[in-house]
Amino acid sequence: MVDPVWAGVIGTAVGALAGSATSLLSPLILWRTESRRLEVEHSNAVALSETQHNQELERLAEEGKQADQEYRRRLISQWRDGLEKAAEELRQREYQESIDHVVPDLPNLQAMQWFASLRPHLNPSLDWVTVINVGVYYAYSHSDGPELAAEIARIEREWGLV
């Protein structure tokens, strides 16, 4: 059997050693736990940030697409209004001709603001578009109305607005 004094000394030594080891290892264990928690938090924050960034990019792309569509709708509307005004101007000039018996100048498409924005979108294979693109004076006539209306409708379909 072990002497009770030695048992007390060994017990005290083992207790002191266990207490010392715990007090020495505890900060290390806490540090590693906290380090892992911070790594997980950081990776979650990065993932959340990337997700939010991607969502913002998608939102901005959608807004840009909607703005483009709205701009194109306004262009189509301006072109149709301009075409209607050109036809009305032609009718008024013809009416004036019937009263004055003087042949008036026909409306010049080149000088019309709405036509300047339409011209780059016209089908270049059309004969009258080739004449317009040369830059000479091009008088609006009754036959131009349906052709321009058809071109505007083609552009509208091409842009996916109908």
Q: What is the DSSP letter of 3?
A: -
Q: What is the pLDDT of residues 75-84, one digit of tens each?
A: 999 999 999 9
Q: What is the largest CA-CA distance in the chain?
A: 144
- Band of pLDDT at residue 43, cut at 50, 70 and 90: very high
Residues 122, 124, 127, 129, CA torsion sign: positive
Residues in the chain: 162
* pTM, rounded to two decimals: 0.64
Give the list of residues 6+ apart from residue 132 with CB closer than 8 angstroms, or none: 109, 110, 119, 122, 138
Give the pLDDT score at 101: 74
What is the crossing angle of helices 144-158 and 4-100, to 10°? 170
Phi, psi dihedral angles at 62 (to 5 degrees): -65, -40
- Alpha-helix residue ranges (DSSP H) falling in the chain: 4-100, 113-118, 127-134, 144-158
Please give the residue that has the higher pLDDT: either 13 or 43. Answer: 43
Give the pLDDT score at 12: 82
Percent of the chain with pLDDT over 70: 88
Could you tell me which of 103, 91, 78, 84 has the C-alpha nearest to residue 146?
84
Tell me the average pLDDT of the chain: 84
Give the pLDDT score at 64: 95
Q: What is the pLDDT of residues 121-136, one digit of tens each?
A: 888 777 666 556 555 5
